[in-house]
Amino acid sequence: MEQKLPAKARYLGKLKKNGFQVPDCIYVSAEDFRNNNFKELQTFLSKHQESYKVIARSAHPLEYCFKGGTFDSMETYADIGGIMYARKKIIKSAKTTKALSIKRQQAFNNAPVIDLDEMGIIVMPFVEGSNVMAKIMFGEWEFGYCRDRISKVQTEPFVTKTPHDRKLLDLSKDIENLFGFPCEIEYIISEMGEIFVVQAKDISGVEIPEVSPGLPSIKLNGIKRIRKRRHYRERPIYVMDTRKLYRNIISTCEDIAFDNKSPDKVGKEIVEIIESFQAELEIFALRNERFAILGLSISKSEELYQIANHYLDDLPELQKKIAHELNQNIYKIDFFLSEADTLIAKDRFRINLCSHDAYGIDTVRYPMWNVFWHADKHEFFTEEFKRLGFNTGDTIGIHINHDEIPTIYRL
């Protein structure tokens, strides 16, 4: 029976059995969900009504084949309905928000085809506190700290070799000794300072190594990054210009007013423009395992969005349809952005990092770089990139000097 448990559930069980402080938890299999077999879950939930909520963690039998953070965990109500809702959300996220990430891992990391209906769930009580992840890197233990849910003022994720509590180091050594292989260990530190182990992952199969400079170049204003070992990287770039997309849509809308085209035909053409843009993003992401995004324009242009909508004022049905397509397009852009390990844009744009994105094992070789120029110089820099001929598919080099100032080269 134990062999059928997903690695995540199996390792938690082993930790608990060996006396480590693991929150009370239960594994609910996909078969239990199919058969409405919730007797044990109901008993478990009845013991954890005090906080009204629990954490539902993904636990697919093949989850170990994917990067940490590929599948979601979420807070939910401490009742059967809450757990069923959480599982549906986790599966839906894998089919939508995380679909591109899953496709890329299948393309580049030999991740298997996965049946999401086999998704199991680990349920544990909600622990208010901050998230810490530990692992050995280059012979030393490192500890990644991410958002403290309690504090009003949020801090940036950071990595340190000196944990806030010596017990974290001792615990981490003991856990790795127990399993006998390199581990990435996730902790929650409660408001009372208690250290709970909530996950251990086998990282023995993850490699770790390094790279040098190039030609037409442009010096930007700064870079945000957590790991600072390397000062140079090369990446193919995707030049994102959503203003150009909106201009194409406006131009097509004008066909109704000036060329008397039928609204149905124009609507179809607009949908094709949006779908073509989304297909271009996916094809680029599936061709390039590591890539950078040069964001000349990323977010929805309110001014151009209003102009496009204005052309459709007298066609509310078409307006509603196009508004929906454009709204969905924003999500598709977000999914694409989350797959890049390098974002080059004005300093008002940044990737929101969760613990796995910030300092998980998969970020050691390829940490997230957020290269930026100041917002008040946005027009200057976008024009410079165009003048120097930076285009989608080009390879760029990024060199960071001792003052943490990046220069971008088109190779």
Q: What share of the chain is helix, strand, coil (3-state, %, to 5)?
A: 40, 25, 35
Q: Where a domain ends, among 111, 126, 141?
A: 126
Domain count, the chain: 3
Report the alpha-carbon distance of residue 118 to residue 130 in Å, rounded: 30
Q: List Cβ neighbours of 279 (8 Å cut-off, separation of 6 or more).
A: none
Please report the beta strands in 83-221, taking only residues with DSSP state E, as ranges in sequence order.
120-125, 129-137, 140-148, 158-160, 183-190, 195-202, 217-219
Q: Dump pLDDT digits (tens) for 243-257.
A: 888 888 888 887 776
Residue 214, both tokens: 């190039």
CA distances from 225 to 228, 350, 355 (A): 7, 11, 14
Residue 209, both tokens: 């190594």
Percentage of the chain modeled with pLDDT above 70: 85
Question: Does one domain contain both 149 and 276?
Answer: no
| Cβ count within 10 A of residue 291 | 18
Question: Does one domain contain both 178 and 240?
Answer: no
Question: Does one domain contain both 65 and 79?
Answer: yes
Specify the CATH number for the domain of residue 31: 3.30.1490.20
Choice among 7-16, 289-298, 300-309, 336-345 with the minimum mean pLDDT: 300-309
Q: Which amino acid is at 374?
A: H
Question: Does one domain contain both 226 and 337?
Answer: yes
Choice among 7-11, 101-105, 228-232, 309-313 with the minimum mean pLDDT: 309-313
Q: Dump pLDDT digits (tens) for 130-155.
A: 889 999 887 889 998 876 554 544 55
Question: Does one domain contain both 75 and 27?
Answer: yes
Q: Where a domain ends, among 64, 93, 126?
A: 126
Stretch 371-378: mean pLDDT: 88
Question: Does one domain contain both 387 and 397?
Answer: yes
Query: Which pLDDT score is estimated for 258?
Result: 67
Question: Does one domain contain both 190 and 319?
Answer: no
SS3 203: coil
Q: List Cβ neighbours of 258 (8 Å cut-off, separation of 6 or more).
A: none
Q: With beta carbons less than 8 A apart as the criterion, state whether 26 and 40 touch.
A: yes
Question: Does one domain contain both 98 and 131?
Answer: no
Query: Which pLDDT score is estimated for 214?
Result: 46
* CA proximity to 207, closest of 137, 265, 141, 256: 137
Question: Does one domain contain both 349 and 396?
Answer: yes
| Cβ count within 10 A of residue 216 | 14
Question: Does one domain contain both 65 and 195?
Answer: no
Residue 277 counted as domain residue: yes
- Structural domain for 31, as ranges: 1-126
Question: Does one domain contain both 239 and 171?
Answer: no
Residue 305, both tokens: 């969005």
Q: With beta carbons less than 8 A apart as the criterion, state whether 253 and 266 touch.
A: yes
SS3 403: coil
Question: Does one domain contain both 160 and 238?
Answer: no
Residue 31 counted as domain residue: yes
Band (pLDDT 50/70/90 cuts) for residue 267 is confident
Query: Which pLDDT score is estimated for 153?
Result: 45
Q: Inform me whether the pLDDT recorded for 303 exceeds 50.
A: yes
Q: Dump pLDDT digits (tens) for 86-126.
A: 999 999 999 999 999 999 999 999 999 999 999 999 999 98
- β-sheet with 120-125: strand ranges across: 26-28, 120-125, 53-59, 73-77
Q: Inform me whether the pLDDT recorded for 353 exceeds 90.
A: no
